[in-house]
Chain A
Amino acid sequence: MREAPGASYSLIINSMNKTILVAGGGISGLTAAVEAAEAGFDVLLIEKKPYLGGKVAQVNLYFPKLCSPACGLEIIFRRLAANSRFRFLTSAEVISVADREGSFEVTVEVKPTFVNENCTGCGRCAEVCPAARANGFNYGLDQTRAAYLPHKLAHPFRYVIDGKACWGSSCARCADACPYGAIELGMQGKTFIIKAGSVIWAAGWDLYDTARLGNYGGGRYPNVITNMMVERMASPGGPTGGKILRPSDGREPGSVAFVQCAGSRDERHLGVCSGVCCLVSLKQAAYIRERCPGARIAVFYIDLRARGFYEDFYVKVRDGAGIELIKGKPGEITEDPSTGNLVVLAENQPGAQILEEEFELVVLAAGMAPATPCTGIHVQDGDGFVSPVLSPGFYAAGCAVRPMEVAPAVRSGAAAALRAVQWVRRRGHGC
């Protein structure tokens, strides 16, 4: 049986009814896993992407401290690496969870990465790979080779091959270059049924698809981008080396508009408020203020929701020069095709005056849509979020439960870990 990166199948197949299976390796899933493992329980984490860390791995800096998520991830990865109770599978997806009287059978589909666990991360494959692919980690803002390291801090530190972009065995330059026999261009996907004592669903969220926001030209106008794209551009390891640039011409924008609630608090799109986008835009306004001095920055909003101590962050950004906060939701954005500039039509609430202003870049502050649940999860509410207790032994954590920022997602992960521990422990004690 072939071994996939990160874990040994034989160990997984032998996982006993006490194993806690965590679906999702973002911040809430990782937290649930590390906390349960340190409490002394066996944990198996399944992650769809070829790396752990989820969305936070794509984030440049956290608000309000403006510190890098890499620091916390580094500690989590170190804690996990030191813990023999923790195992994981990347490029693997939980397809269904079946409740068998309080223990679980979890169907996991492992996608072929064409690189086995011999990979040491030396990078020879990428050096010789002739094929290119759009880099999904950077929302298509740049390209990688078909053989690529998912990102600079990828954990596991292993290359993978994009099967769609790869030229296949007719090329095989990577296989010839690899000193470790790590390339397997014939690798097949596999499906496993794994037993678990408890399951934690931590599949997180997807950025709301802004192409559905026709009135804003999402997905249509190149200079209308999403907040997550700004995160990637702002990152020193990102597609622009930390610069905020217009996709149409690679120029630094002289003016930027942030459109809050792009698809959020709107029953035709996301009925709920994600609770984070206001703070994200404030943070990104600060990025732009630092990187593009002199640029005009405007934030169009309905309510500025900087709850709790985040108020301090809001005040700090607001009181720094050069950011206009405009109460009013834009109704429409149109593009001037000759310049790629965008005209934002909005009502400025104080005085109900209609604004029509031109910007060189528009950032849609898109919200969090819950990840699609696997078979066996009954969606609990009209918005697609699931209940933290799905059934006895089956729990959910993080943004799959409700939209939240990082600290509550971590608390939610720890809470789900506790519930799983309770369940496994009680069953172990026969009560």
Chain B
Amino acid sequence: MAAKTGVYLCSGCGIGEAVDIAGLRRVAEKDRRVALVRESNFFCGRDAGWIQRDVGDGAVNRVVVAACSPRFYGAVFDCSPDIPVVRVNLREQVAWCHEPGCEDTLMLAQDALRMGLARAAGAGVTQPFLLADPSKTILVAGGGLAGMTAALEAARAAFRVILVERQEFLGGWLRNVYRCAPVGPPYTELAENPVPLLSREVADHPGIEVCCGASIERTAGGPGMFDVTIRQGERLRQERVGAIIVAAGARPYDPAKLTRLKNLGYGTNPDIVTSPCFETLALEGGGRVARPSDGREVRRVAFIQCAGSRDPNHLPYCSAVCCGETLKQALYLLEAAPDSIVFIYYRDLRVHGREEHFYRRVQEAGAIFIRSEVLNVAVRGGSLSVEADDIFLGCRSRTEGLDLVVLATGMVSGSGGGGLAEGVLNLDYRQGPELPALKYGFPDSHFICFPYETRRTGIYAAGCLREPMDLAATLDDAAGAALKAIQCVEMTARGQAVHPRALDQTYPEFNLSRCTQCKRCTEECPFGAINEDARSNPLPQITRCRRCGTCLGACPERIVSFKDYSVSLISSMIKAVEVPEEDGAKLRVLIFACENDAYPALDLAGAGRMRYNPWVRIIPLRCLGSLNPVWIADALARGIDGVLLLGCRQGEDYQCHFINGSELARTRIMNISETLDRMGLEAGRIRVIEVGIMDYARIPDILDGFVKDLAVLGPNPLKGF
């Protein structure tokens, strides 16, 4: 269908005063694809109906709105799904940040409109990617508290659930637990173990199929179409599921490693035990604890916190729950035998929220708290003692005649070794068989605001697999993961992307006849969405795709395209920029800005009415990772003097919601230095800068500084060729 573009020029919010609307109209009318041009100062309100009417009449089949930032009024300007709508940001990025009426401002506005017209002309219409028969079943791997809760929560929302547990019984870690810390008001009383009730509820729920003594041999496919091979004894079965919740839990720190901590004495006496071991003793004794050496009931017990935790040679982190666990163990000991004497050696007592009431309760029950950074467990003639630097008393103190010493140990991820939860999912993914782990081997999300932002689409971690957490946090986490799984199957069935480009219906298409099997796309996809066949051809799994466009940026053959975002589309926008040929006094700078951070920062600079150099031309990218180096070559070949890439922070505390966009962009820039050399251009014409939204105040300095440095290099020698 031939393009019939409608151009809607807004003069409101100061745009009319800053730019020459009549001039913009002439620019639009010169474009033969433009069917009509309308002007108003109030398209977002009073005259919003004009666009819908023109579209309804069939007068236009693509819409260019030259007004405010696309971050506003999206819903007002959106037409039907088959009408591309392109926004030209004349408010925040032209009128509000450049001198009104000045020639440079007018040229900027005209270029912005030309780029928008090019984008509209090239944009195609996307049909959502629909699976023939998407599965909405949810698979839960792990039958502990988190797994059972997730399964039950998903089933209560009327989704079918398959729960796979390795052990012969449900319950996981909690099966070995005697009592739990308080879970409800007044937060001072011990709670029953929730496992018996919960596992019965899970087993009885008609929507949950429980497979105990089972493991997952292989997981292939993607959201809406995971093909999972489950092994139960000798039996193998295939299940198709839509989303997966991994709740494989954590493990206690290996006590054998504690023997290296000589001061704790672990391994030298059977009555020096770990906290999980103590819990088992309590479970066996119904709250009464018999000491391992001679079976005598314990009366004098010392708990030692942070055994192997907060220690760079063991676990550098804190496991969050050990303090609460010790309080619980101290209390049931004191309740079973009130004449017991309990000492708790701690560094910082780390309980949270309402656990404070429990802490008080245990203090009132008579536990003696000794704050100490340095201590020593000694065994003398069968009797145990603890010597410590008591910070309260400011001196060395000693407790003697102990029946038992309990070492509160922390949690480690998965089944040991490097990777976490090894052998849980056995993903048939080009990029590894399990959820990628972050620091310390836990596959937590990197994001504070988006704890379910997983690196494997449709696979959500829950519970202590993700990070050490207590019961209340686990219940929330499991329910939240169940919601994400539900969302994923629903959105996949509708052909939509999940977070962060939620609801996006576009997806990458691969023109495989031109593929050279270079494997860049399969290696660089941050979400493992592209597999490979034996001959290294990419096998994109669209339902795993998060639509960042990293594959598009990676491909040297330019075979990856979205209908509204492609190498040729962005190239056509670059070509739409008019580069003044005379003397080069007016430089031209192309900015590729990450949509999530840099683009809003540019908007905010405008909203703050900050002034910056008007020679810049801005193109938003889905992610800097989608930057194809050919665009830079295009820009420089056209005589544009410099290219600036604005992306998010990289490194350990990275900000990129597509994992490593800025980093990929940097690597690609380095790789094209040879091309630059060949063109006779300086590497300084390209710069990558990290910009967060709240760095908006730095925008003028960054842009003006770059233009200044370019001026030193002089105009692009390719100008005018």
Contacts and interface: CB of A to CB of B under 8 A. Distances in A.
B649 interface: yes
Interface stretch (A97-105, A164-172, A421-429): A421-429
Contacts of B702: none
Nearest to B394: A351
A380 B608 CA distance: 45
Interface of A: 27, 34-36, 38-40, 60, 62, 65-76, 78-79, 81-84, 117-118, 120-122, 152-153, 157, 179-180, 235-237, 241-242, 265, 271-275, 303-312, 315, 327, 349-352, 380-383, 385, 387-388, 402-404, 406-408, 410-415, 417-419, 421-422, 425-426, 429
Given A418-B486, A419-B479, A307 B352 contact: yes
A331 to B, nearest CB: 16
B503 interface: yes
B447 interface: yes
A235 B13 CA distance: 27
Contacts of B186: 381-382
Interface string B579-608: 000000000000000001100100010011
Contacts of B600: 70, 74, 153
B12 A153 contact: no
Nearest to A397: B476
B480 interface: yes
A30 to B, nearest CB: 9
Contact of A422 (B153, B185, B444): B153
A117 B351 CA distance: 47
B635 interface: no
Nearest to A40: B490
B392 interface: yes
Given A381-B354, A418-B157, A419-B479, A71 B693 contact: yes
A84 B693 CA distance: 26
Given A72-B450, A237-B694, A303-B350, A418 B596 contact: no
B482 interface: yes
B653 A308 contact: no
A68 B14 contact: no
Interface in B525-565: none
Given A71-B596, A76-B449, A402-B353, A65 B482 contact: no
B317 A309 contact: yes
Interface of B: 12-14, 41-42, 44-46, 68, 71-72, 74-75, 153, 156-158, 184-187, 310, 316-320, 348-357, 371, 391-394, 439-440, 442, 444, 447-452, 467-469, 472-473, 475-484, 486-487, 490-491, 498-500, 502-503, 596-597, 600, 604, 607-608, 648-649, 653, 655, 657, 692-697
A311 B75 CA distance: 44
Nearest to A419: B479
B348 A303 contact: yes
Given A410-B451, A425-B158, A35 B487 contact: yes
Nearest to B477: A411
Q: Which of A79, A120, A275, A387: most chain B Cβ within 10 A?
A: A120
A75 B500 contact: yes
Nearest to B43: A120
15 contacts: A35-B487, A36-B483, A60-B694, A72-B449, A82-B503, A83-B502, A152-B604, A179-B41, A236-B697, A303-B348, A305-B348, A311-B316, A415-B153, A415-B476, A422-B158
B352 to A, nearest CB: 4
B500 A402 contact: no
Given A71-B693, A81-B74, A307 B153 contact: no
Nearest to A70: B693
6 pairs of A and B residues whose beta carbons are closest in the complex: A72-B449, A414-B480, A415-B479, A418-B483, A381-B185, A122-B13
Given A120-B68, A410-B451, A414-B479, A311 B318 contact: yes
Nearest to A79: B502
A327 B41 contact: no
A118 B44 CA distance: 8
A350 B157 contact: no
Given A236-B694, A311-B318, A412-B476, A383 B449 contact: no
A403 to B, nearest CB: 5
B647 to A, nearest CB: 12
Given A307-B320, A422-B153, A74 B693 contact: yes
Contact of A402 (B158, B394, B472, B649): B472
A291 to B, nearest CB: 14
Contacts of B391: 327, 349-350
Given A387-B184, A421-B486, 19 more contacts: A60-B694, A69-B449, A71-B692, A73-B449, A75-B500, A121-B13, A121-B607, A306-B350, A309-B317, A309-B467, A311-B310, A312-B439, A349-B391, A383-B354, A388-B476, A410-B449, A415-B476, A415-B480, A422-B153
A137 to B, nearest CB: 15
A173 B68 CA distance: 25
Nearest to A264: B356
Contacts of A417: 480, 483
A62 B693 contact: no
A308 B468 contact: yes
Interface of A is mostly: loop
A58 to B, nearest CB: 12
Nearest to A327: B391
Contacts of A39: 483, 486-487, 490
Contact of A380 (B72, B185, B351, B649): B185
Contacts of A308: 317-320, 467-469
Given A40-B490, A120-B44, A70 B502 contact: no
B394 A265 contact: no
Nearest to B500: A75
A350 B185 CA distance: 35
Contacts of A429: 158
Contact of A273 (B14, B353, B447, B475): B353
B188 to A, nearest CB: 10
B353 A79 contact: no
Q: Which of A66, A242, A272: most chain B Cβ within 10 A?
A: A272
A408 B476 contact: yes
Contacts of A118: 42, 45-46
A153 B648 CA distance: 18
Contacts of B350: 303, 305-307
Nearest to B474: A411
B317 A75 contact: no
Contact of B448 (A62, A273, A351, A413): A62
Contacts of A402: 353-354, 472
Contacts of A67: 448, 649, 653, 655, 692
A275 to B, nearest CB: 4
Contact of B353 (A27, A65, A404): A404
A350 B68 CA distance: 61
A179 B490 CA distance: 44
B158 to A, nearest CB: 6
B370 to A, nearest CB: 12
A408 B473 contact: yes
Q: Which of A73, A81, A414: most chain B Cβ within 10 A?
A: A414
A16 B485 CA distance: 26
Contacts of A419: 153, 479
A158 to B, nearest CB: 10
A417 B596 CA distance: 25
Contacts of A312: 316-317, 439
Contacts of A60: 694
A230 B71 CA distance: 29
B158 A273 contact: no
A34 B449 CA distance: 12
Contacts of A315: 316
A418 B158 CA distance: 11
Nearest to B324: A307
Q: Which of B44, B349, B371, B447: most chain A Cβ within 10 A?
A: B447
A351 B394 CA distance: 4
Contact of A71 (B316, B491, B499, B597): B597
